[in-house]
Chain A
Amino acid sequence: MEEPTFEPDLIHAIFKIVWSRRALERQMIEGADALDGETGAGTSKKNRPTSANGNALKLSCELLRNFITEAVQRAATIAEAEGVSKIEPTHLERVLPQLLLDF
């Protein structure tokens, strides 16, 4: 393997934390609604957290890998223009606005 990347399992675990947190939030909102007697059955099914398939995770890993390589490459370009061989925070600062707009 020539290019290091993220493990899909790791990304999946992070996704799952976000999704289960949001499912919990939805459940709490539902619970508040249920007190008004508006919602009926089938709520538990609706509140099941989202999941992702394997290829989607691999693709997400690739996207995140690109985010990091872009950040490094752009900062490296600035550092090179300044004639230094170490990327310092100021270099990252310069490229950050455009980087965040691009992702």
Chain B
Amino acid sequence: MEREEDDSVSELLRDRFRLSTIHIAEAEAKRNDMEISGPVMTCIADLAFKYTEQLAKDLELFSQHGGRKTANMEDVILSVHRNEHLAAMLRSFCNDLKAKEPQSERKRKKASKKEDQATTSVVHIPDS
């Protein structure tokens, strides 16, 4: 029963994920003056979804290894450490995000306590 509910929720998420993937892929294809056939789109979406699940596992293991309960940006960067280009790119994105935050000075003083706080989710997932 509980399992079924979990499955239907993840099915819904998978569909939403697929939709976003199609959106991104089509925009990218347009930039290259290309079209994408249906099977390719499905395949890319499934791959990306599997990658997301794998990323979740990685982030959990990395944050646990760091003695934390909350995954932070360092964990995400660590998960791509084998690809230096990608890591550098994420690093600069990470710095952009940090720079965008209004109270960066205060945060430096008050350590990273605020940053480690978990986000409250808007999407409701039952704690099965």
Contacts and interface: CB of A to CB of B under 8 A. Distances in A.
Interface of A: 3-22, 24, 48, 50-60, 62-69, 71-73, 75-76, 79-80, 85-89, 91-92, 100, 102-103
A65 B93 CA distance: 13
A85 to B, nearest CB: 6
A56 B115 CA distance: 10
B7 to A, nearest CB: 10
A10 B55 CA distance: 14
Given A18-B53, A50-B70, A87-B36, A72 B90 contact: no
23 contacts: A5-B20, A9-B122, A12-B123, A13-B125, A14-B56, A18-B53, A22-B60, A51-B69, A51-B71, A53-B72, A53-B119, A59-B90, A60-B59, A60-B76, A62-B90, A62-B93, A63-B76, A71-B47, A71-B48, A72-B34, A76-B34, A86-B37, A102-B86
A103 B86 contact: yes
A85 B59 contact: no
A15 B71 CA distance: 11
B121 A9 contact: yes
A14 B13 contact: yes
